[in-house]
Amino acid sequence: MKKIFLLALLAICFVSAKAQYVSLNNAEIDKLKQLVASDPSAKARFNELQKVADAALNETPNPIDTIRSEGKLAGDPKKTATGVSLRDMKKMYALALLYRTGGDRKYLDKSVAYLVAWSKFNTPNGDPIDDTNLDPVEAYDLIKSNIDAPNNKLITAWLAQTAQMEINKFKPGKETAYNNWHSHRLKEIGEIGFALQDDKYTQYAVEGMKQQIGKNLLPDGSSVDFKLRDALHYHVYDLEPLLKLAIILKRATGVDYYNYVSDQQTSIKKSVEWLLPYLNGQKTHGEFVNSTVSFDKKRAANGEKDYVAGTSFEPKNGVATLELTEYFYPDAINLIQKLKATDQNYPDWQLVLNKVKR
């Protein structure tokens, strides 16, 4: 196990300051353009993002001072305002992508305008469930070589502050040090670390990933979050950030943390496979029946139907997990197509990214 960690750190030391492991490098952009030109479903997904980017050209950034979603019930004004502001995330990404694939500077300028607006106005609070929604990192990583020095300094300072606040708020010994909170914390710090090529944050993510696989995932394939919440909703919510980080680490260090097996005989792969019978219809599960978390009952009482104890898990809610898994296991496309009732090669943008990154 020590050898794997040392190899990962060695790989980190040799990456270029402009390396793009979170988004797409130049060769992958070329592959993307070829794929969009040759596959109708890939083109359809690209066109969806182009519509977002074109609309965003005529819109104004809407950053929020502090993201507030964790622990808030549906209808809470702070959560509602956060949701509206977070629409900017997809806009800045789409704008950055359109610039990289077409070279039209109007997309670059507008994407930078969104990033700068958030950098100036948003103050990170160190809550990983809030910060996991804060995904301008891919947009920044796509265009970081094209941003002027003053704006780049502003944006990188904001991203670094976000990562540092996550570390500062980490509390060893609490459930949040190993439950889904820490999975999202590691994902966010890892994304920022590799986008900025900051060894402090990349090493935190690498070391934390190994520990989290051993502490959060269980030998039977389930997870601590499933045991605490009695809900597959939280099992997939835990796996998604781990899978996102695993993709980045595979690209950046060459180490495959999807198949990595901890000393506790746990792995992301095993936990995905444990989930599969609930996605393909072999098993069903009534959610939150034995949850130990009072907030789940509050959401049910608030009329949030997905949190009512005994509500059956909807297999479609596991599609995002499968789409990230497909990077490591391309045959997952078969179940994805079944769940989405389509025969398209690329029913989601994540699958397009998987293809060009693999």
Residue by residue, DSSP assigns 143-177 as HGGGS-HHHHHHHHHHHHHHHHHHHHT--TTSGGG
CB 186, CB 212: distance < 8 Å: yes
Of 80, 85, 57, whose CA–CA distance to 69 is shortest?
Answer: 80
**pLDDT (0 to 100) of residue 12:** 43
Single-letter residue type at 323: E
**In the chain, domain spans:** 2-357
Closest to 325 (Cα-Cα) out of 252, 253, 236, 263: 236
- DSSP code of 65? S
The pTM for the full model equals 0.94
- Residue 170 has a pLDDT of 97
What's the pLDDT score for residue 133? 87
pLDDT score, position 247: 98
With a CB cutoff of 8 Å and minimum separation 6, the contacts of 335 are 276, 279, 280, 322
Average pLDDT along the chain, 358 residues, taken 10 residues at a time? 47 56 98 98 98 98 95 95 96 98 98 98 95 89 98 98 97 96 98 97 98 98 98 98 98 98 98 98 98 95 96 98 98 98 98 98
pLDDT at 135: 76
What are the counts of helices (DSSP H) followed by strands (DSSP E) for the chain? 18, 0
Domain 2-357 annotated CATH 1.10.10.10: no
As a whole number of angstroms, the distance between CA 223 and CA 218 comes to 5
- pLDDT value of position 18: 73
122's tokens: 């948003």
**Of 233, 230, 224, 218, nearest in space to 279 by CA:** 233
Distances (CA, A) of 143 to 98, 103, 151, 191, 298: 10, 11, 12, 15, 42
Query: Which of 193, 319, 188, 327 is CA-nearest to residue 250?
Result: 327
Torsion angle of C-alpha atoms 220, 222, 224, 225, degrees rounded to 10 = -170
Give long-range contacts, CB 8 A cutoff, 24+ apart: 234-237.
234/180, 235/271, 235/275, 236/275, 236/317, 236/318, 236/320, 236/321, 237/180
Q: What's the pLDDT at 353?
A: 98
Furthest-apart CA atoms within the chain: distance in Å: 55
> pLDDT at position 6, please?
47
CB atoms within 10 A of CB 165: 18
